[in-house]
Copies of this chain bind each other. A is one copy, B any other.
Amino acid sequence: MALDVVGDRWTLLIVRELLIRGACRYTDLRSGLPGIATNLLAERLRELEQEGLIVREEAPPPIATTLVRLTARGQALERVILELGRWGAPLLAEGTPGHQLLLHWLVLPLRLHLVDSRPDQGACTIAIRAGAEGIAGGDGIAGAAGILITANRGVVTVDSGRPEQADLVLTGDAATILTLLVGRISVAAARVAGVDFKGRTDLLSRVVPRSDRSSRQ
């Protein structure tokens, strides 16, 4: 019966997008779901609204648009989506040629995997931006939401957004950044692969994968 509600093509991906980005516009959703037909997105949103998983609301005064937001019932799907992600992680590691990977999609897996290796220290922030080919595509701008990671006294947060400033700013493509953050390649190797580092690269040993002591250096 759960699959009757969320088992249609795209439905869980739409929910994931809303989990990552919070309330967002129709156009944001479309840019985060490459390949979805616009009529299908409209139809799925209608279904999700009817099932009580999302609500539409007018944005606060300055902005003139309607936002789509998950209800508590919709948010409750996070556990399902995290389990699916955990199961699928080996597929991501294998890597798939024709498969594109948007940067902000890494938010949920990073929340699962990253921990603060220096719980005694205060706040620091790492920002990640999409690299060249992420912007090359015409709609790359809208889709390139970016990631903001903070660590503060043992608590790591990972969110999507357009990071303004940070102690460390990484710029590169999602796949490379991922292998770097989960500790499978070094900073040097990431540089070779086209990742640009601005700021305190030492922070990469502050925010590390769960149960991993490698300093990534």
Which of A77, A88, A96 has the most C-beta atoms of chain B within 10 angstroms of its own C-beta?
A: A88
**Which residues of A pack against B, CB within 8 Å?**
1-5, 7, 9, 12-13, 76-77, 79-80, 83-88, 91-92, 96, 99
Complex contact A7–B5 (CB within 8 A) = no
Q: Which residues of B contact A79 (CB under 8 A)?
A: 83, 86-87
Contacts A2-B85, A79-B86, A79-B87 given; 20 further ones with Cβ under 8 A? A1-B88, A1-B91, A1-B92, A1-B99, A2-B91, A3-B12, A3-B13, A3-B84, A4-B91, A5-B88, A5-B91, A7-B9, A7-B12, A76-B87, A77-B87, A79-B83, A80-B80, A80-B83, A80-B87, A83-B83
A-B residue pairs, 5 tightest by C-beta: A2-B88, A1-B91, A80-B83, A2-B84, A83-B83
Q: Return A179 CB to nearest CB of chain B, in Å.
A: 16
Complex: A77 Cα to B80 Cα, angstroms: 11
Complex: A9 Cα to B11 Cα, angstroms: 13
Complex: A79 Cα to B77 Cα, angstroms: 13
Q: Return A193 CB to nearest CB of chain B, in Å.
A: 21
